[in-house]
Amino acid sequence: MLPEQADILWTYMTLAYTLFAFYVFGNVVQHCRENERVNGKLWGGIFGVFAVISFFETVHMFDLVQGEQITFMFQYQVLTVLAILLTWGIFFKSQDIQNQSPPIIRAFFFWSTVSICLAGYTNWLPQQRSDPPPKAAAVSEDLTMEEFVEMGRVIVFGAKQVAGQKSIGKGQCPLCHTFDPGDHIGRCPNLFGVQERSEKKKDEERYQTHPMKIGDPEPATGIVKGTPDQVPEEYRRAGSPDFIGEDYLRESLMCPTCYVVKGYGNDGDTKSPMPVISKPPISLSPVELNAVIAWLQSKDTPGEFANVTVPLPTAGSTAEEAPAEDEERPVFVTGNEPIQDMINTLGCPLCHTIPGVEGAMGALGPVLHEKTNAPARMKDPNYKGSAKNTKEYVKESILNPSAFVVFNEEAGEAYPDGLMPTTFSEMLSVQALDKLVDFISQTEAPPEG
């Protein structure tokens, strides 16, 4: 579900709870009719009120979006249900009625409690959303070699990195390969020193003959082994037809079965399990493939690009950039972005002035000088939140903006409540929230002069 839509689970639960409330009302009325000694008006009235309350809670739930629904559900509706259950029990006990709630109710609560606990468990685990790789677009300007190599690194590892986890980019290489000396996961060869090995590869006897000879075509890809001048035109290198290290790397990516490192193939090392990188599902474009080669050639000598032989792409070449439809997608930041990017993505500068963030000059909300303002606000008699220190205050303000509405002294009235979105919990990972809180907690008015 998108943040602006209702949540299917909570919508379902609210309907179920209201049905339950009406069921209880009916059950109590039935008991009252069967037992003359029971005060039907009193008990019917009590449970009727519960049913009406529950009904209006459900109606209200339909006006909320999913972030608000969960809060409302656990703050109000679950409490209502618990109150109904408790009162129902009191009714049975006080009126000494033996024929109590039928098993269907007990089964329903058992069922829903276990199921919701399972949903809760999945929400407790680390959350990571995977977006599809972007489609091809044109390189709009010339790149430096450093930027080009970085582009290759991002294709391999992805721009986002999560602490404690191996990050994987569009190329999906780290699923099987390792890149540091001594690192080995047993799936595919370690690529440390691959640039050096690639230069000598054409002279190796195994390369020349295994699993096919130089000059033989590989049927699945159509690549002719060891012949750079017969590589499909869009991927082909310009210049001499001699087989150099770059050609070996390109061949390995476009035709993994042309050469299989000993012990890493299937069917007696005659077939590589590696996908063809220029074809689906990975489908690197020629520029991307070259960027990966550039990174492979330079990764063992950080900052040195002398070994890189692939040319830089020119303006108009096909590369990848963020898809246009990104704007329509729900906003989400992981915390791996630079803080400025995070804040811009979240849209904070539209309303707030934030020192240290370029262009953050918004005036719809308070100026964020939280290092100095937060301690004072927590002491404000109107403050109803629960924060004990600046960081807690900032976090509370992000997740629950209505906890304290700042007074706009210039305008002589409070800033409008409800203007700030309450869906930041949906837009931020835990790591991103911590990072944002750390930053905002340190904001203060720039020194005068």
Partner 1 sequence: MLGKQTRRYGTLSLALVMAFAIYLMPAFVTDAMAKEAYAGQAFAEEAFAKEVLAEEAAAEGEGEPEIEWGQDVFYKDWEGNPLKGPVSGHPAPELGESDYNNYEFAPSRMILWMANQQHLYFGSFVLAVPIFCMLIEFIGIRTKEEDPIMSAKYDRLAHDLMKVSLTAYSWTAILGGILLFTFITLFPGFFKYMAGIFRPVMHVYALMFLAESGVLYVYYYGWDKMSADPFLKWIHCSLSVLLNLIGTVLMYLANSWATFMQAPGGIDEQGRFLGNIWHVIHSTLWNPVGVHRILGNIVFGGGIVGAYAAYHYLTAKTEEERAHYDWVCYVAMFICIFGLIPLPFAGYWLMKEVYAFRQQMGITLMGGIMAWLFIIQAVMIGLLFFGANSYLHNGMSRVKGAHRYMKYAKYMILLLIVCFTMWMTPHTIVMTPAELKAMGGAQHPIVGHFGVMSAKNTAVNLMITTTVLCFLLYQKANKKITVPWQTIGNCWLTAIFIGAAINIIFLGVYGYFLPANVRVGLSVPQVTTTLTTLFVGTAINISMFKDSESYGEIQWGTQSKVGTYAIFLLAISFTWLMGLMGYIRSAVRLFWHVTEVVRDNSVDAYTLTIGEAGKMLTFNTLFVWTQFVVVFWVASLTVKKGAAQEPEAVPVPAQQQQ
Q: In the chain, what is the straight-line distance between the N-terminal and C-terminal CA atoms, in Å?
A: 50
CA distance 226 to 247: 8
Where are the strands (E) in 246-372, listed by range?
A: 318-320
Q: How far is the CB of 13 from partner 1 (least distance, A)?
A: 8
Residue 274 makes contact with partner 1 by CB under 8 A: yes
CA atoms of 405 and 76, how far apart (whole Å) = 23
Give the one residue of 75, 98, 103, 411 binding partner 1; rule: CB under 8 A: 103
For 325, the 3-state DSSP assignment is helix
User: Which residues in the 128-147 window bind partner 1 by CB under 8 A?
Assistant: 128-133
Q: Among residues 78, 137, 162, 399, which is the contact residue for partner 1, using CB under 8 A?
A: 162
Q: Please give the Cα distance from 37 to 204 (Å, whole number).
A: 100
Burial class (CB in 10 A: 0-12, 13-18, 19+), 149: buried
59 binds partner 1 (CB under 8 A): no
Question: Which of 118, 136, 361, 445 is the binder for partner 1 (CB under 8 A)?
Answer: 118
Instruction: Report residue 56 as tokens.
Output: 């209006």
Q: Least distance (Å) from partner 1 to the CB of residue 440?
A: 16
- Is the Cβ of residue 220 or residue 350 nearer to partner 1 in the bound state? 220
Return the structure tokens found at 237.
């290198």
Question: What does DSSP assign to residue 428?
Answer: B
Of residues 128 and 314, the one with the C-beta less far from partner 1: 128
Nearer to partner 1, 173 or 231 (CB): 173
Among 9, 29, 244, 261, binds partner 1 (CB under 8 A): 9
Q: Which is nearer to partner 1, 103 or 446 (CB)?
A: 103
Q: How far is the CB of 94 from partner 1 (least distance, A)?
A: 25
The region that residue 327 occupies, defined by phi over 0 for left and psi between -120 and 50 for alpha, beta otherwise, is alpha
Binding residue for partner 1, selected from 86, 136, 175, 324, defined by CB under 8 A: 175
Q: How far is the CB of 223 from partner 1 (least distance, A)?
A: 14
Q: Is the Cβ of residue 4 or residue 417 nearer to partner 1 in the bound state?
A: 4
- Please select the residue that binds partner 1; options are 59, 82, 86, 220, rule is CB under 8 A: 220
- 384 is a contact residue toward partner 1 (CB under 8 A): no
Site string for partner 1, 333-362 (x = CB under 8 A): --x---------------------------
CA separation (Å) from 317 to 73, 143, 420? 52, 11, 42
Among 60, 210, 236, 271, binds partner 1 (CB under 8 A): 271
Task: Measure the CA–CA gap between 353 and 363, rounded to whole angstroms.
Answer: 7
Task: Kindly state the DSSP code that residue 234 receives in the 8-state scheme.
Answer: G
Please report where in the chains the tokens 């972007």 appear, as a residue: 134
Separation CA 245–CA 194 (nearest Å) = 9
* Contact window for partner 1 (CB under 8 A) among 22-30, 234-242, 276-284, 349-357: 276-284
Q: Do residues 426 and 3 touch, judged by C-beta distance below 8 A?
A: yes
Please give the residues from 185 up to 204 whose contact with partner 1 meets the rule CB under 8 A. 185-187
Which uninterrupted H or E stretch holds 239? none
Phi, psi of 291 (to 5 degrees): -65, -40
Using CB atoms within 10 Å of the CB of residue 287, give its burial: 0 to 12 exposed, 13 to 18 middle, 19+ buried. Answer: buried
Choose, by CB under 8 A, the member of 89, 102, 232, 239 that binds partner 1.
102
Does residue 137 sit in helix, strand or coil?
strand
| Residue 432 near residue 335, CB atoms below 8 Å | yes
Question: CB of 231: closest distance to partner 1 in angstroms?
Answer: 18
For position 115 contacting partner 1 by CB under 8 A, the verdict is yes
CB of 38 or CB of 73, closer to partner 1:
73
Binding site for partner 1 (CB under 8 A): 1-2, 5-9, 12-13, 16, 102-104, 106-107, 110-112, 114-116, 118-123, 125-133, 162-165, 168, 172, 175-176, 184-187, 219-220, 267, 271, 273-275, 279-281, 325, 328-329, 335, 430-431, 434
